[in-house]
Copies of this chain bind each other. A is one copy, B any other.
Amino acid sequence: MNFRQLRYFAAVAEEENIGRAALRLHISQPPLTRQIQQLEDELGVKLLHRTSKGVELTQAGDTLYHEARNILALTAVATERTVKAEQGHLGRLDIAIFGSAILGLIPKTVLEFRNAYPDVNVVLHTMSKPDQIKALRRRQIDIGFNRLLAPHEDITTEVILYEELVIAVNENHPLAKKKDLKFTDLAGEPLILFPSNARPGFIDYAIRICNDAGFSPNITQEVGDAVTGVALVASGFGISIVPRSTTALSLPGVIYRDFEQNKDVAGLDLSCIYRTDNHSQILHNFLQVVRRYAAELEKKS
């Protein structure tokens, strides 16, 4: 059995007349007769009653006709889906994010991507930095988002955006009133930093930039994620340095303040990582959405 025979048979079934079906198929009548005969021989089943005015389906023929329509329709869908898959409109994208990355760019990007590519199944995984690298190599994820990423041989690191650091203080804290906030004003202040569960991370980076500024930070608390950290600021446990995207999280009593001459204060990257040898069109499409969205953010600021 082959597609041609099914296609031919469906035409004959619909026309109930071999000659007319042949006309419709743009072939002559004898080859069509032969193809139907071959189909019957191969199945060992009479599909048509030959009458003087044409043919009519036997019960077996009727059954096969419905099956054939089904198969032919499915085949059309199959090619369609294959082409869609090639264009990155169909498939699956596994994205790794880190805890506090739920804020800001990532959720909006993912949302936009899902709208643009509704047939791509997007799966989000929360993963630490080293786990993201491992999962990429194991091909468990296609792309990961993180900060302060070290370069790897087989993995491309692409900086999506650079975020300035801002300070989160309780509204009752003296620094909340002070203008022209400088980085060195943090000396001696009780610092709350996150995340504490991925090393090397923001904390190590914060220590380094404090040292560069000429003082040792007084880290009183390490927490796992931004929400907890800012919550502690709200409760008056101390102050915190956070990337600007965290300001999307507004808690009562918490005030975010820019540093004076922010350009001089070191900022923080948000990067994504993916296997350099991953030429998936889906990944490519997703990266385009990310880049476009990041460029928009850049323009606004």
Contacts and interface: CB of A to CB of B under 8 A. Distances in A.
Given A67-B77, A82-B43, A59 B282 contact: yes
A84 B60 CA distance: 8
Nearest to A65: B82
Contacts of A45: 82-83, 85-86
The winner among A68, A79, A86 for most chain B CB atoms within 10 A is A86
Interface in A80-99: 81-86, 88, 90-91
* Chain copies in complex: 2
Nearest to A75: B71
Interface residues of A, number: 36
B43 A60 contact: no
A205 interface: no
A64 B71 CA distance: 15
A94 to B, nearest CB: 13
Interface in A3-17: 3-4
Contacts of A77: 67
A81 B59 contact: no
Contact of A3 (B3, B43, B63, B85): B3
A37 to B, nearest CB: 15
Contact of A85 (B62, B75, B280): B62
A44 interface: yes
A46 interface: yes
Given A3-B2, A3-B3, A85 B71 contact: no
Contact of A82 (B60, B84, B281, B282): B60
B1 A2 contact: no
A85 B70 contact: no
Given A2-B3, A59-B91, A78 B82 contact: no
Closest 10 CB pairs of A and B: A67-B78, A63-B85, A60-B86, A60-B85, A64-B82, A45-B86, A59-B85, A59-B91, A60-B82, A2-B3
Given A1-B3, A45-B86, 11 more contacts: A3-B3, A43-B82, A45-B82, A45-B85, A46-B86, A58-B86, A59-B280, A63-B84, A63-B90, A67-B81, A70-B74
27 contacts: A2-B2, A2-B3, A2-B4, A3-B3, A43-B79, A45-B82, A45-B85, A46-B86, A59-B85, A59-B86, A59-B90, A59-B91, A59-B282, A60-B82, A60-B86, A62-B85, A63-B90, A63-B91, A64-B81, A64-B82, A64-B85, A67-B78, A68-B78, A70-B74, A70-B78, A71-B74, A71-B75
